[in-house]
């Protein structure tokens, strides 16, 4: 049983990414301090993000793995701490994400008082489909999750591009490219222009390297790539679920 307040702070469980860093003395010269050294002033912690997303997949080797709703919410909360580092232009999107996470959390909290319909994302969508809740209520679980789902692929592509794209490309160029291939198609003209203007204020790639890797990029790079694959697997599982139900174009 998860508790949202508990999970907001609890990053003591260790996934393979955390263990790799702890076993590598070059990644941290001060044993026992590595969690502090990889946390930003906002509380962003590379261990927490990896471990929480890894816990989301109930069957990691299954492309359609059941996805734990509470773990998905907690993982997104950790990603928000990274978005905090990207500047003021992400504040509006961040607030929107927080509001939608609260909606999902409300379904989880109510669910605990009765039969569990929302503890697994696939179960929640199936339940709302079976009871015809999708079109009746715009604030239902399925539609709310879809907004978060669409934003997640932009974050995934941005994180991936920070290490895959040529060093000659600025964070602004990378962000615009990722945006145009993901969220762009879901936004109005005015929102598109506002977002692209905001990208001009993004931190440099070197600054983002410091935020993500805290000086240990060579030691962490392989695990970072694995972390991105895990998020993409979660995204793909939800994408498949929505495609099978013809929900990807819901307003």
Q: Is the pLDDT of residue 188 over 80?
A: yes
Q: pLDDT per residue over 153-172, tens digit each?
A: 999 999 999 999 998 999 99
Residue 153 lies in a domain: yes
Q: How far is CA 247 from CA 85, 132, 184, 242, 250, in A?
A: 32, 13, 18, 5, 5
Domain count, the chain: 1
pLDDT greater at residue 93 or residue 88: 93
Residue 250: inside a domain: no
Residue-number span of the structural domain to which 67 is assigned: 4-244
Task: List the CATH number of the domain containing 228.
Answer: 1.10.3520.10
Q: Which of 54, 47, 49, 56 is nearest to 19 (CA)?
A: 47
In a domain, 155, yes or no: yes
Q: What share of the chain is helix, strand, coil (3-state, %, to 5)?
A: 70, 0, 30
Model confidence band, residue 128 (pLDDT cutoffs 50, 70, 90): very high
Nearest alpha-carbon partner for 144 in 109, 90, 105: 105
Question: Where does the pLDDT of residue 91 fall: very low under 50, low under 70, confident under 90, or very high at 90 and above?
Answer: low
Q: Please indicate whether residue 8 or residue 188 has the higher confidence score (pLDDT).
A: 188
In angstroms, the Cα distances linking 11 to 1, 75, 100 are: 16, 11, 23
Would the pTM of this model clear 0.85, i.e. be above it? no
pLDDT in tens, 12-40: 444 444 454 444 433 333 333 344 344 44
Q: Check: CB of residue 107 under 8 Å from CB of residue 141.
A: yes
Is residue 152 in some structural domain?
Answer: yes
> Per the domain annotation, does 95 fall within a domain?
yes
Structural domain includes residue 249? no
40-51 pLDDT, tens digit per residue, is: 445 666 677 888
The answer to the question of residue 102 being in a domain is yes
pLDDT at 220: 85
Residue 64: what pLDDT?
Answer: 92
Residue 251 counted as domain residue: no
**51-63 pLDDT per residue, tens:** 899 999 999 999 9
């Amino acid at each position: 049983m998860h508790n949202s307040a508990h999970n907001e702070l609890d990053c003591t469980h260790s996934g393979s990414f955390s263990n790799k860093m702890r076993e590598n003395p070059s990644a941290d010269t001060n044993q026992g301090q590595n969690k502090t050294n990889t946390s930003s002033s906002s509380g962003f912690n590379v261990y927490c993000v990896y471990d929480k997303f890894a816990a989301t997949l109930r069957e990691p080797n299954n492309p359609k793995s059941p996805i734990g709703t509470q773990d998905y919410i907690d993982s997104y909360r950790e990603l928000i701490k990274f978005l905090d580092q990207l500047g003021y232009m992400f504040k509006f999107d961040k607030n929107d994400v927080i509001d939608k996470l609260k909606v999902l959390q409300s379904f989880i909290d109510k669910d605990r008082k009765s039969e569990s319909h929302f503890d697994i994302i696939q179960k929640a969508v199936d339940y709302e489909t079976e009871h015809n809740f999708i079109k009746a209520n715009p604030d239902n679980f399925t539609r709310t999750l879809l907004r978060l789902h669409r934003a997640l692929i932009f974050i995934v592509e941005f994180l991936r591009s920070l290490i895959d794209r040529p060093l000659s490309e600025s964070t602004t160029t990378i962000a615009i490219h990722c945006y145009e291939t993901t969220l762009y198609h879901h936004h109005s003209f005015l929102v598109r222009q506002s977002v692209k203007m905001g990208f001009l204020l993004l931190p440099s790639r070197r600054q983002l390297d410091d935020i993500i890797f805290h000086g240990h990029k060579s030691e962490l790079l392989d695990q970072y790539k694995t972390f991105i694959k895990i998020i993409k697997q979660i995204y793909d599982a939800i994408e498949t679920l929505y495609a099978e139900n013809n929900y990807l174009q819901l307003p």
